Amino acid sequence: MSTSPGEKATARDGSQVRTGIWFIGARGSVATTATIGSLAVAAGLADRTGLVSELAPIAAATAPIEIGSLVTGGHDVADTPLPERAMALAESGVFPFALAAALRDELAEADKRIKSAPRRATQRETASAIADDLHSFREEHGLARVVVVDVSNTEAPVQPGPELNDLATLEEALDAGRSPLPQSSLYAYAAFRAGCALVAFTPSPGPNLPALVELAQRQSVPWAGRDGKTGETLVKTTLAPMFATRALKVRSWASYNLLGGGDGQTLADPDAAMSKTATKGAGVDAILGHHVDGPLRIDYVEDLGDWKTAWDHVSFEGFLGTRMTMQFTWQGCDSALAAPLVLDLVRLVARAHETGEVGVIGAMAFFFKEPLGGEEHALSGQWQALSEWCEKLAIAR
């Protein structure tokens, strides 16, 4: 079962049409937490705290795509079943043991919808295998549409070569058996080819390459990104406008991040960390209108598990050159912060797809460190833009 972009999220018999989430990294911490979270909310075992899509006026736009209508699936290279992953996350304090135990059977069912990440001889063949899995997922579960969500490990930055500058040249390279695409971009290519919308939740290159931007337009699918804004950067994009609008000169802003878990382990690689620090550091400069000196570090601490701590030191100058400082500490559970945003984004992107929106959605900047499709970095401005966009979506119902 499939619907065209303009069709409403209601079946002919009046029943609710379901929306699929295809996770890239489906057994990772964020995907597992999002999966158990959607199951818990649908079963009435958890409230909706942390879900932006439940706030007015956002809820008016997302109401047709209820949490209970979401069906999860995906790819992963890991083979630890979701019930065991959920118990491990519960042990680290991400959510209660009782919740993981109560939903064990539902998690086992969800785990059956996760497949091994396909690896074929060429990128063309691999992309076809990914697209086949997406088509099968949609048809087997009677889904109106599928939103692909990249929550896989962060990749190193890439310099797009000539093969990635336009779609025709990329297709020629793939037909010739070459492999020009980073892994995250290969998934974006396959998703767009399959007619699926996409959420780029990591700082990896993903769909943000000229050839893939062109492909999304040609396939009439929307996408959003990049790099979910869940912790320290969320605080920064809230505080930085305060300095700007009070005419206070920020002289330096030092940021130190300690992170455990799989994401922290990945970011221990300097090349992968470069992608993350680039997106984390852009917001303050954009909001203040000038470059702000200061180190921005991410260090892996295995003992922290799924938790992260950020300590920031801000040096600023006031009237008559008086020097002052501000410090803050942010401690949070990475997966518990990210998972509700994933569910929000899926509901919003699915609604955008339903109403016929195409290409990158700039109004989604509220959710990302690097707001592709928009230039606003201040959280309040991003909220205003998102609210106005959702009001239009609600009217489109």
pLDDT over threshold 70, residue 4 = no
pLDDT level of residue 389 (50, 70, 90 thresholds): very high
Average pLDDT over residues 30-46: 98
CB 171 within 8 A of CB 127: no
Give the pLDDT confidence of 229-273 residue by residue, as tens digits.
998 999 999 999 999 999 999 999 999 999 887 766 776 667 666
Residue among 121, 149, 18, 39 at smallest CA distance from 83: 39
Give the pLDDT confidence of 339-355 residue by residue, as tens digits.
999 999 999 999 999 99
pLDDT over threshold 50, residue 210 = yes
Q: Taking the model in full, what pTM does it have?
A: 0.92
- Which pLDDT belongs to residue 282? 83
Average pLDDT over residues 100-105: 98
- Which pLDDT belongs to residue 268? 64
- Which pLDDT belongs to residue 237? 95
Average pLDDT over residues 76-97: 96
Average pLDDT over residues 140-148: 97
**Ranges of H-type helices in 256-375:** 261-267, 270-288, 334-354
Residue among 139, 157, 152 at smallest CA distance from 196: 139
d(Cα 151, Cα 105) in Å, to the nearest integer?
Answer: 24
- Which pLDDT belongs to residue 11? 43
Extract the tokens encoding 64. Answer: 């047709």
pLDDT over threshold 60, residue 214 = yes
Q: Supply the DSSP symbol for 369.
A: S
pLDDT level of residue 362 (50, 70, 90 thresholds): very high
Average pLDDT over residues 197-218: 97
- Which pLDDT belongs to residue 15? 45
Buried-exposed string 372-391: b where 16+ CB fall within 10 A, e elsewhere: bbbebbbbebbbebbbebbe
Share of the chain above pLDDT 70, in %: 92
Q: Supply the DSSP symbol for 169.
A: H
pLDDT over threshold 70, residue 175 = yes
pLDDT over threshold 90, residue 90 = yes
pLDDT over threshold 60, residue 8 = no
Question: What's the angle, vertex CA 23, arms to CA 17 and CA 24, rounded to 5?
Answer: 150
CB 186 within 8 A of CB 118: no
Q: Domains in the chain and their CATH numbers? A: 18-228+336-395 (3.40.50.720), 232-334 (3.30.360.10)
Count of C-beta atoms within a 10 Å radius of residue 302: 10
- Which pLDDT belongs to residue 5? 41
- Which pLDDT belongs to residue 272? 60
Residue among 332, 204, 194, 195 at smallest CA distance from 261: 332
Quick check: helix, strand or coil at residue 387? Answer: helix
Average pLDDT across the chain, whole number: 92
Kindly list the distances between the CA atom of residue 25 and the CA atoms of 39, 125, 145, 227, 293, in Å, as whole numbers in the listed order: 18, 20, 20, 15, 35
Amino acid at 139: E
- Which pLDDT belongs to residue 55? 96
Give the pLDDT confidence of 54-71 residue by residue, as tens digits.
999 999 999 999 999 999
Give the pLDDT confidence of 266-321 residue by residue, as tens digits.
766 676 667 667 777 788 999 999 999 999 998 999 899 889 999 999 999 999 99
Kindly list the distances between the CA atom of residue 297 and the CA atoms of 174, 289, 306, 328, in Å, as whole numbers in the listed order: 37, 22, 18, 15
Average pLDDT over residues 209-231: 96
Extract the tokens encoding 119. Answer: 């690896």
CB 359 within 8 A of CB 222: yes
Average pLDDT over residues 108-118: 98
d(Cα 33, Cα 243) in Å, to the nearest integer?
Answer: 35
Burial grade of 226 (CB within 10 A; 0-12, 13-18, 19 or more): buried
d(Cα 101, Cα 348) in Å, to the nearest integer?
Answer: 30
Length of the chain counted residue by residue: 397
Give the pLDDT confidence of 25-37 residue by residue, as tens digits.
999 999 999 999 9
Quick check: helix, strand or coil at residue 154? Answer: coil
